[in-house]
Amino acid sequence: MTETPLAAPLNVGFDYTRSTGPVLGRFVNALRDRRIEGIRGSDGRVHVPPVEYDPVTAEQLSEFVPVAEEGTVVSWSWCPRPLDGQPLNRPFAWALVKLDGADTPMLHAVDAGEPGNIHSGQRVRVRWADEVVGHIRDIAYFLPVDAEDTTPTQPAPPVADREEGAPVSVVITPVHLKYLHSASPEESTYLRGLAEGKLIGQRCPACGKVYIPPRGACPTDGVPTTEEVELPDTGIVTTFCIVNVPFLGQRIKPPYVAAYILLDGADIAFLHLVLGCAAEDVKMGMRVRAAWKPRDEWWTSLENISHFEPTGEPDAAYETFAHHL
């Protein structure tokens, strides 16, 4: 019986950063002054938020129209279990709200407490964020016009670097997504092997090639690799580059060598570091051996091998690895 594939949380995050241009730029800068501006479309309709190009004719638009911060709910749906990042972290309504002076409704949240407190046609008003920065989130949410307003708003979104007094020209939206990442059964075998200091490749049942890490499908035959092959921790450098450029997140001080290592008995190289000699001494065909981290630091990761080091043996002849380049 095969073991369950390994899985682990994968959280990705980045600040989605966009320049605004003249139309959206004007909109977000007005928000920073707690004003809302729409734009007049080719058919005379006022669009809020403003659109850069007419949704019907695609004509470029430029006639800005101030609108009210009160409006009417056109349609809504109840959100009983708010998700990360939504305007409210308690149950609320999503609504299309047509602001007075606008002809198209905008999507936003209404803090209504429960579904019985909201209906289409309801009058609502903007609840501004406690701190406005020039972002759609400056509208924290909407409230029924007569509702009390005592709750502090969530923190403002991050602010793009700008000179004091300068208009907002960039909006930043933090994006954070959570996944459960699963390794394939073949990758799981390999990763579990690493935790025991073993390098386990697998052989394609069709072409006989040995892959490390093993593949969910052989790129030649399209079938999963199956037969396990334990490989030694020695091999050769097939090709390499000397990293001279510093970059964000770099763990080793340049210059250093990133190389393709082809383990003895494998048919595919993988990327790793070659240390233990001067960068300019690394050569194609150079014999290397894994430098393992102390055993108590091992886990299901190729990080268990700190780097590869020259063994001092004679280099492999080019013809022996030419077909692996």
Partner 1 sequence: MPDVAIAGFAKAPNVRETEGTTNGVEMLVPIFAEVFAQTGLSKQDIDFWCSGSSDYLAGRAFSFIAAVDAIGAFPPIHESHVEMDAAWALYEAWLKIKMGEVETALVYGFGKSSAGQLRRVLALQLDPYVVTPLWPDSVSIAGIQARLGLEAGLWSEKDLAEVAARGTTQDVAELLDTPYYADPLRKHDIAPITDGAAVIVLSTVERAREIVERPAVITGIEHRVDSPVLGARDLTRSPSTEAAGKALDLDGVDLAELHAPFTHQELILRSALGLGDGVKINPSGGALAANPMFSAGLARIGEAAIRIHSGESRKAVAHATSGPALQQNLVTVLEAR
Residues making contact with partner 1 (CB under 8 A): 4-5, 7, 10, 12, 16, 18, 20, 24, 27-28, 47-49, 51, 55-56, 74-80, 83-87, 94-96, 98, 104-109, 115, 120, 135-137, 157, 171, 173, 175, 177-185, 187, 215-224
CA-to-CA separations, 93 to 41, 47, 109, 198, in angstroms, rounded: 28, 22, 6, 55
Query: What are φ and ψ of residue 128, in 5° steps?
Result: -70, 150
Nearer to partner 1, 12 or 68 (CB): 12
Instruction: Give least dist CB 322 to partner 1, A.
Output: 17
Instruction: Give least dist CB 16 to partner 1, A.
Output: 6
Instruction: Give least dist CB 281 to partner 1, A.
Output: 34
Q: What is the rounded distance in angstroms from the CA atom of residue 111 to the CA atom of residue 63? A: 32
Nearer to partner 1, 18 or 283 (CB): 18
Nearer to partner 1, 220 or 239 (CB): 220
Q: What is the rounded distance in angstroms from the CA atom of residue 229 to the CA atom of residue 205? A: 12
Instruction: Give least dist CB 47 to partner 1, A.
Output: 6
Instruction: Give least dist CB 74 to partner 1, A.
Output: 8
Closest to 237 measured CA to CA, from 213, 209, 257: 257
Nearer to partner 1, 120 or 239 (CB): 120
Amino acid at 322: A
Residue whose pair of structure tokens reads 């759609």 in the numeric block: 136
Taking the CA atoms of residue 44, residue 37, residue 92 and residue 111 in that order, the dihedral angle to the nearest 10 degrees is -120
Nearer to partner 1, 136 or 229 (CB): 136
DSSP string, 71-84: EEEEEEEEESSPPT
